[in-house]
């Protein structure tokens, strides 16, 4: 009697049906799994995972790419890299980018996102600024512009004689900038390049943070306001701790991008800039591989770059954890 009632119960009936279906290996099921999982996985393994693995192996050889001889030389490539002054300059420049770009971009986009979301009236319902939609649409523009085009446009803006920037500067009376080469002077080339990358990404992260801030329940803000917190206090003590995970993600993505930076740097200053002041690892890797044919050495550079990326992500995670990231986060 109990058994009968059991099998009638819908709760236990469904898993039983599922189990029966799983056991039966029909052609339908086998072909489905083979195609649905097999095809994407093969493509992924062949074109993404295997190149990563091969690169690590190539980095231990002095392979030139044009024959099948791959003399195994151990860590010699790495030793060579760390004695190469120009490569070390590239590493330094990449690290500079990874240190400054995420900080500047994240802070700037957080400020703008905060202004848009809680810039409205301090009475009544928590609301954003009027015209927020307009600012949001405009801010996102740079993200949809291809990186190469951003580089080209800014290359023209920085042009010493016909550029927009020097035109504006001389227009307001700063005649010293009449034909100042922003990208051609080693003192400003790096800063000028960073401005371009920040310009390209602030809008994207601003939209991301706006979405995160809107996910915070309005009651939280209302409670803070009743307790007498001003706007600045609210932003520091409510917004930032609550969207901490989003900030961490943004920070890591921006750092990975800064360590790459190939497109921007190679379009703005294809040769690495004055006195190699804007040369980054990715550019050096590209010329070493495809212009000089030193594939083993280039792969070693790739491994160094991947290592830096991992160290960067680990550091961000660690700092976030040490400053109490995981316990503050409440969904």
Partner 1 sequence: MSLKLSKRTSGTDGLVAHKAKDTPGDKAVAGVSHVMLALWSLMVLVPLAWTVMSSFKTSTEIFASPFSLPEHWSFTNYVSAWSTAGIGSYFLNTVIVVGCALVIVMVLGAMCAYVLARYVFPGSRAIYYLMLAGLTFPIFLAVVPLFFILKNIGLLNTLPGLIIVYVAFALPFTVFFLFSFFKALPNEIAEAAQIDGAGEWRTFFQVMLPMAKPGMASVAIFNFLGLWNQYLIPVAINTTEKNWVLSQGIVAFANNMGYAVNFGSLFAAAVIVVLPVLVAYVFFQRQLQGSVSAGTLK
- Residues in 6-35 at the binding interface with partner 1, rule: CB under 8 A: 14, 17-18, 21, 26, 28-29, 31-33, 35
Are the beta carbons of 264 and 197 closer than 8 angstroms? yes
Q: Which stretch binds partner 1 (CB under 8 A): 39-47, 75-83, 176-184, 218-226?
A: 39-47
Contacts (CB under 8 A) with partner 1, residues 251-270? 256, 259-260, 262-263, 267, 270
The minimum distance between CB 3 and partner 1, in angstroms, equals 24
From candidates 95, 96, 306, 329, binder to partner 1 by CB under 8 A = 306
CA dist., res. 225 & res. 245, Å (int): 24
**Rounded distance, CA 60 to CA 79, Å?**
11
Question: Reduced to 3 states, what is the DSSP secondary structure of residue 61?
Answer: strand
246 φ/ψ angles, rounded to the nearest 5 degrees: -65, -40
Cβ nearer to partner 1, comparing 89 with 216: 216
Q: Measuring CA to CA, which residue among 250, 256, 248 is closest to residue 312? A: 256
CB nearer to partner 1: pick between 75 and 149: 149
Query: Does residue 40 belong to the site contacting partner 1 (CB under 8 A)?
Result: yes
- Cβ nearer to partner 1, comparing 3 with 26: 26
State the Cα–Cα distance between residues 206 and 202, nearest whole angstrom: 6
Q: Does 65 bind partner 1 (CB under 8 A)?
A: yes
Q: Does 303 bind partner 1 (CB under 8 A)?
A: yes
Note whether 49 binds partner 1 by CB under 8 A.
yes
Helix axis angle for 244-260 and 85-118, nearest 10°, is 150
Q: Which stretch binds partner 1 (CB under 8 A): 74-82, 175-183, 298-306, 322-330?
A: 298-306
Contacts (CB under 8 A) with partner 1, residues 199-238: 199, 202-203, 207-208, 211-212, 214-215, 231
Residue in 278, 312, 94, 92 with CA at minimum distance from that of residue 191: 278
SS3 assignment, position 235: helix
Number of C-alpha atoms within 13 angstroms, CB side, residue 112? Answer: 23
Stretch that binds partner 1, among 81-89, 97-105, 178-186, 281-289 (CB under 8 A): 281-289
CA gap 77, 124 in Å, rounded: 65
CB 238 within 8 A of CB 224: yes
C-beta closer to partner 1: residue 91 or 147: 147
Which residue has tokens 């600012």?
135
Is residue 54 within the footprint of partner 1 (CB under 8 A)? yes
Separation CA 219–CA 56 (nearest Å): 52
55-84 as b/e, with b when 16 or more CB fall inside 10 Å?
Answer: beebbbbbbeeeeeebeeeeebbbebbeeb
* Cβ-based nearer residue to partner 1, 277 or 282: 282
Least distance (Å) between residue 83 CB and partner 1: 22
Binding mask 108-127 for partner 1 (x = CB under 8 A): ---xx--xx--xxxxxx---
Kindly state whether residue 298 participates in binding partner 1, applying the rule CB under 8 A. yes
Q: Which two tokens stand for residue 176?
A: 């010293």
Q: How far is the CB of 280 from partner 1 (least distance, A)?
A: 10
For partner 1, the closer of residues 78 and 262 by Cβ is: 262
If binding is defined by CB under 8 A, does position 309 make contact with partner 1? yes
List the interface residues with partner 1, window 87-106 (CB under 8 A): none
Query: Which residues in 129-188 contact partner 1 (CB under 8 A)?
Result: 129-131, 134-149, 152-157, 161-164, 166-167, 171
Q: How far apart are CA 12 and CA 21, in angstroms?
A: 15
Confirm if 98 and 255 have CB atoms less than 8 A apart: yes
- Smallest separation, CB 275 to partner 1 (Å): 20
């Amino acid at each position: 009697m109990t058994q009968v009632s059991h099998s009638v119960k819908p709760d236990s009936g469904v898993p039983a049906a599922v189990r029966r279906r799983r056991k039966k290996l029909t052609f339908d099921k086998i072909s489905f799994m083979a195609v649905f999982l097999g095809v994407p996985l093969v493509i992924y393994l062949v074109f993404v995972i295997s190149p990563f693995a091969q690169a690590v192996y190539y980095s231990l050889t002095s392979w030139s790419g044009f024959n099948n001889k791959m003399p195994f030389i151990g860590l010699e490539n790495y030793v060579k890299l760390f004695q190469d002054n120009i490569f070390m300059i590239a590493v330094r420049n990449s690290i500079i980018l990874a240190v400054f770009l995420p900080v500047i971009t994240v802070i700037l986009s957080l400020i703008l996102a905060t202004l848009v979301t809680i810039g409205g009236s301090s009475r009544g319902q928590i609301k954003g600024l009027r015209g927020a939609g307009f600012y949001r649409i405009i801010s996102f523009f740079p993200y949809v512009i291809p990186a190469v085009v951003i580089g080209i446009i800014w290359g023209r803006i920085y042009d010493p004689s016909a550029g927009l920037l020097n035109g504006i500067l001389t227009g307001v009376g700063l005649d010293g900038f009449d034909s100042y080469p922003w990208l051609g002077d080693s003192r400003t080339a790096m800063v000028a390049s960073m401005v371009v990358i920040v310009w390209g990404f602030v809008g994207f992260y601003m939209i991301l943070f706006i979405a995160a801030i809107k996910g915070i329940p309005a009651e939280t803000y209302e409670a803070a306001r009743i307790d007498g917190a001003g706007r600045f206090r609210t932003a520091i003590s409510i917004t930032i701790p609550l969207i901490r995970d989003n900030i961490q993600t943004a920070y890591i993505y921006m750092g990975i991008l800064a360590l790459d930076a190939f497109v921007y740097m190679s379009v703005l200053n294809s040769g690495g800039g004055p006195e190699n002041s804007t040369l980054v690892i990715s550019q050096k890797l590209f010329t070493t591989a495809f212009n000089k044919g030193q594939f083993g050495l280039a792969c070693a550079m790739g491994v160094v770059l991947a290592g830096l990326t991992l160290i960067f992500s680990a550091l961000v995670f660690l700092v976030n954890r040490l400053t109490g990231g995981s316990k503050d986060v409440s969904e």
